[in-house]
Amino acid sequence: MSEQDVDLSAEKYEKHREAGEILAQVRAEAAEKVDVGVTHLEVAEFAEDRIRELGGKPAFPVNISIDEEAAHATPGIDDETTFGEDMVNLDIGVHVDGWLADTAITVDLSGHDELAEASAEALDAALELVEPGVETGEIGAEIESVIEGYGYNPVVNLSGHGLAHYEQHTEPNIPNLGVERGVELQVGDVVAIEPFATDGTGKVGEGAEEEIFALERESSVRDRSARQALSQITEEFRTLPFATRWLDVSRPKMALRRLKMNNIVHGYPVLKEEDGCLVSQKEHSVIVTEDGCEVFTE
């Protein structure tokens, strides 16, 4: 597609922008609520409810990742876990009619300001590079350089990503390190760039916990509770991730277990830094324009 063929005022881009405007407000309000003694569930439900109040819908459950956790952590039903002197990453998504915005911020209660600053500065540097024709590998190299300049490592097996209609993660991937084979960004691309910095070696692995799921395929299931859950999933969440605590059925964990056994849903295990070290994160969503990019989650 040539640059002149892209109408950046088209309805889908306006809905991305609307989602981003809601998200910027909710991110700021939710970050203010993170404090020692406050429960994770209080912050997650506040943010998700606020998104709905402002006219959007959560694109995925609010991720609240603590210390070595990097992604896919969200409170369970009646979770009473509270914040301590933690490094807290809030990753929040909004959609308007399926058009997404995605953002993340580190709220540091642990006293490791420079680690939080490293991912934030890496994001700023990456955004400066975004324009038509730039290769994603160049963006990754800049992220890597900034984070290493702080004396830390990027998390190399996590990346930024494209945002599509009812698709939270799509092409192109935006790596957090330099790679030789990248994809050239084009006018009209909608991408989320999210550097992760760590004082560990820079890889994450899967933990045992799962509270976030997504539809894998539609199929029949005999169990009544599982059928009810599947009906809600297909109608309300479609292909987007959802939390166990969002399901309006009795014994939701059992319903999900049955759906997972039948390969109807898949889970997202919490991702943790393999050395048990701290992880910080900063993320914005952008539209690639003719002369750079429009950050629509600021």
Please identify which of the residues 68, 69, 86, 91 carries the catalytic annotation.
Answer: 91
In degrees, rounded to 5, the angle at the alpha carbon of residue 281 between the alpha carbons of residues 129 and 40 is 150
User: Is-catalytic flag, 91?
Assistant: yes
Please identify which of the residues 102, 121, 142, 144 carries the catalytic annotation.
Answer: 102
| Ramachandran area for residue 238 (φ above 0: left; ψ -120 to 50: alpha; else beta) | left
User: Is-catalytic flag, 194?
Assistant: yes
User: Is-catalytic flag, 114?
Assistant: no
Please identify which of the residues 117, 165, 167, 169 carries the catalytic annotation.
Answer: 169
Cross-strand partners of 269: 210
3-state secondary structure 255-291: HHHHHHHCCCEEEEEEEEECCCCCEEECEEEEEEECC
3-state secondary structure 65-76: EECCEEECCCCC
Is 102 part of any known ligand binding site? yes
At 268, give phi and psi (nearest 5°): -115, 95
Separation between Cα atoms, residue 279 and residue 104, nearest integer Å: 13
Question: How far, rounded to the nearest angstrom, does the alpha carbon of residue 129 sit from its chain's CA centroid?
Answer: 21
Q: Residue 273: CB partners within 8 Å, gap ≥ 6?
A: 68, 69, 70, 155, 198, 200, 203, 204, 279
User: Is-catalytic flag, 211?
Assistant: no
User: Is-catalytic flag, 102?
Assistant: yes
Is 72 part of any known ligand binding site? yes
List the one residue out of 28, 19, 211 whose CA is nearest residue 107: 28
Please identify which of the residues 21, 68, 86, 283 carries the catalytic annotation.
Answer: 283
Q: Which two tokens stand for residue 212?
A: 């976030």
Report the residue count for the chain: 298
Please identify which of the residues 21, 138, 194, 273 carries the catalytic annotation.
Answer: 194
Please identify which of the residues 161, 199, 273, 284 carries the catalytic annotation.
Answer: 161
Residue 77, SS3?
Answer: coil
At 112, give phi and psi (nearest 5°): -110, 60
Residue linked to tokens 């038509």: 132
User: Is-catalytic flag, 128?
Assistant: no
Residues annotated within a binding site for substrate: 72, 169
Catalytic residues: 91, 102, 161, 169, 194, 283
Residues annotated within a binding site for a divalent metal cation: 91, 102, 161, 194, 283
Residues annotated within a binding site: 72, 91, 102, 161, 169, 194, 283
